[in-house]
Amino acid sequence: MHHEQQLPLDLFGEPPIPTPPPAETPPHAQTPRTKQPLPPISAEALTRDAQRRLKELARTEARIATLIPRIRVIWYHRLQNSAGRAHFQDSRIELNPRLATLSDPSEIERTLLHELAHLLSWHRSITKADGTPLSRPRKIDAHGPEWRQACTDLGIPNEPRCHTLELAPRRKVKPKYAFICPHCKEHLLRVRPLARHSACAPCCKRHNKGKFDARYEFVPIPLQDALHTLALRENGM
Ligand SMILES: [Zn+2]
Ligand SMILES: [Zn+2]
């Protein structure tokens, strides 16, 4: 039988991973989490850059004026492989600090404009020409014609829809600990040791109404053995 290598992540006895709050401060005001180089352009400068672009458009399109003061750009460490992300509700643009490691520095600007085009097309879809909100916002596709028009307006007419850049892959964290469920023989690889009395969630769910049961408590095993078994399973053996 072929086992999925996907391991149960919801363990009992483990505190839930807290949802990261949005980064409120630019990265250079925070303790860097990794040894990434600091972005060469500050988030404030990028915010001003985005606002300057919109001001030019606002000269012929009144409704853009209400968007300008709301725009905020931040460098956001927790983005995985997307170069950037736009949040419509608070007009926030998050940029991946790893953009700064790319050989072509214009990628930062391009990503900024890509995300700004999302905010611009969204803003146009929810406001009347004078900037007041539409009672019924128009539905638009994320990368549909409205977004493409916004890209053209912002000077990047040939922007591709996909904004996952070829960023250098994140260093894969190697597991240091291995555990096995004595019941279903599911393996668990971990970078850090398990909290005491962590049990196999699927087994507790299946056999004990989802409550902790010592019979399904993970047992530590040698890492090499676990890696070997998982490699065999992956190959269908
Ligand atoms: Zn996009
Ligand atoms: Zn189990």
Residues 118 and 202 both lie in one domain: no
Residues 143 and 185 both lie in one domain: no
**Tokens representing residue 184 in the block:** 């279903």
Mean pLDDT rounded to a whole number for the chain:
81
Residues 93 and 187 both lie in one domain: no
Cα 122 to averaged position of ligand 1 atoms, centre (Å): 12
Residues 64 and 131 both lie in one domain: yes
Query: Among 20-29, 104-113, 128-137, 195-204, where is mean pLDDT lowest?
Result: 20-29
Q: Which ligand is nearest to the CA of 216?
A: 2
Angle between helix 106-126 and 145-153 (nearest 10): 120
Cα 87 to averaged position of ligand 1 atoms, centre (Å): 11
Cα 100 to averaged position of ligand 2 atoms, centre (Å): 44
Asked whether residue 2 is domain-assigned, the answer is no
Predicted TM-score of the model (pTM): 0.57
Asked whether residue 162 is domain-assigned, the answer is no
Range of the domain at 43: 39-153
Count CA atoms closer than 13 A to 186's CA, side-chain side. 20
Q: Which of 111, 138, 153 is the last residue of a domain?
A: 153
Segment 118-165, tens digit of pLDDT: 999 999 999 999 888 999 989 999 899 999 999 999 999 988 877 665
Residue recorded with tokens 């916004």: 150
Residues 145 and 189 both lie in one domain: no
Asked whether residue 3 is domain-assigned, the answer is no
Number of structural domains in the chain: 2
Higher pLDDT, 130 or 233: 130
Asked whether residue 160 is domain-assigned, the answer is no
**Tokens representing residue 131 in the block:** 């900037």
Task: Give the C-alpha separation, 158 to 138, whole Å.
Answer: 24
The CATH number linked to 64 is: 3.30.2010
Cα 129 to averaged position of ligand 2 atoms, centre (Å): 60
Q: Which ligand is nearest to the CA of 205?
A: 2
Cα 234 to averaged position of ligand 2 atoms, centre (Å): 18
Cα 123 to averaged position of ligand 1 atoms, centre (Å): 15
Cα 97 to averaged position of ligand 1 atoms, centre (Å): 17
Residues 71 and 136 both lie in one domain: yes
pLDDT at 164: 63
Asked whether residue 142 is domain-assigned, the answer is yes
Residues 104 and 187 both lie in one domain: no
Residue 28 pLDDT > 50: no
Average pLDDT of the residues in 168-181: 76
Asked whether residue 6 is domain-assigned, the answer is no
Cα 31 to averaged position of ligand 1 atoms, centre (Å): 29
